[in-house]
Structure 1
Amino acid sequence: MPSEFDLIRRHFSQPTPSAVLGPGDDCALLVPSAGMELAITTDMLVEGTHFLPTVSPELLGWKAVAVNLSDLAAMGAQPRWLLLAGSLPSADEEWLASFAAGLFACSTRFAVELVGGDTTRGPLNLCLTALGELPAGSALRRDRARLGDDLWVSGLPGRAALGLAHLQGRTQLPPALATSCLAALQQPQPRVELGLELRRRGLANAAIDISDGLLADLAHILDRSAVGAEIYVSALPPLPAGAALELARTCQLSGGDDYELVFSAPPGARAAIAELADQVALPLTRCGRIVEAAGGLRLLDADGRPLASEQRGFDHFA
């Protein structure tokens, strides 16, 4: 039976040229670039809560990295380093090799290095910490939305939640749509390039990633910025053909696991944002605006009339 340290050496030790000292000691030693601030985030993935027991370990390895990088993307940070802590039911080397392959595929894709962590025996639970950097004072933050800002959303939110509904038997999607939605759920693409360019070009005032649902995560911006918002439902990205309309809209507004970005930007940035969408080959949809806090968060139809909605996003303790 391999020891904990054998498993780490065999599956999770790779060169870390950007670190002063990587895995193998009590701590990693890191030096941020001159003039940079560190952005640090951590996310936990628990079997049965964040992923199904049947998920491919390789896809799980990718997702464990991607969900953390999404937080860095939302602040316009350049990903640099990762720490991995996890509890495992057993030392299943085949499972670990597949998980590590997915983890390193994602970390290599986004030029981030695994510099340390910890393992123990227990229910399957994975916790990654990601560290990024960005010029001091330049972070995209939740508390910077301004009255009159446009609201934008990237990609096609709702696909991941539709994929989960398909897996759980709550809907039956056509094969091509199921493939697309399952990819969004199981192999999300953190919008690192988009976040970096929004920050570098000074286009966005506030941003957040959609991990708990569009409405729920937008509400965090509104709370921290002390503003309200109007969402033009007819302006949201088109719902996928082949999905039940009501379920697809619910997934779009309140489904989680999308890891797209929602951001606010001044109206004068519209042309530059359209140009950026072409550059990063990603749909960027203007879907609302920031209003006075007294207005709260309102959904409006194509004629500007309020729509009733009790939808909200994922809450671990609700």
Structure 2
Amino acid sequence: MTESRSALLRLVEALKQRGYHFVTPTPATHARVVARADRSEARDLVDILGWSLPFAPSRIDAALLALLEAGEALEAADDGLLRSRFRVSSLKDDLYLHSAYPTEAGDSVFFGPDSYRFADLIEAELAIARLPSGAAIVDIGTGAGVGALVAAKLCPDATVWMTDVNPAALRLAAINAEAAGAPIRAVESTTLDAIARPIDLALANPPYIIDDDARTYRDGGGMLGGQVSVDMARMAMHRLKSGGRLILYTGSAIVRGADLLGRALAALAGAEGCDLRYREIDPDVFGEELERPAYAEVDRIAVVAAIFTKR
């Protein structure tokens, strides 16, 4: 284990011991909050590691500051202040390291309201039908590791993998999993070839927004942001065992009342020999995106759940 990884792991553990808690909002809400006149500089730990505000070293105790330094998590801000390169967010009983606000870099590790809804969806679906003992679970495009970690804690005898194309994401996800005491295997790959076993449960929370900069963590590709969701679903369904499930949490751009992604996923399920349960979880998210030319014909962006079961 590298010194920086060990330091970040100890940072998460120390924050747990201190009862640290922060719920990450949408980027639009985050921007509005930190634009307030009294938010130009951090006043406490939540401002530093939640709201990503610049801070004076005296605002944080020496032990945590040393861990941030050893974890290569600090960068210089204006007027001699410092800023954390990471945020730490709460979800259920665990803490997650992810990228600081704003997430502008191409290899940013995103975490937000979708993470909470995705976790709740997994929990609800596993309550409906438990997995067999020793199940194989794969979280595709894991990001900060939410899907893998939630599933691993709900199914402690399962073998769990998390995959991503972003090594920065896998690094933080591995730290998050270890801090939570969840044994999860990390695989950097665009495919599922490294998982030799048939899959009992695949999880996916792909990006679904059109991103002008084509940042991997945010860009859902063609179909008004739905293409990555279709591609991930197809890849997962090819590897599901009979009775295996894919829990897909994503967003769909609704055009003149039509859910084009829903239609595409239904057709894909039929072609791949899967039954599909599909529903809207939230009818309207990221409304600010509709002001962009790419969404000129879109009524709204809905968050959807697509549950595929292999026949």
Regarding TM over 0.5, the answer is: no
Q: TM-score, normalised to structure 1's length?
A: 0.29
Higher relative contact order (CA 8 A, sep 6+): 1
Could you tell me the TM-score, scaled by structure 2's length? Answer: 0.29
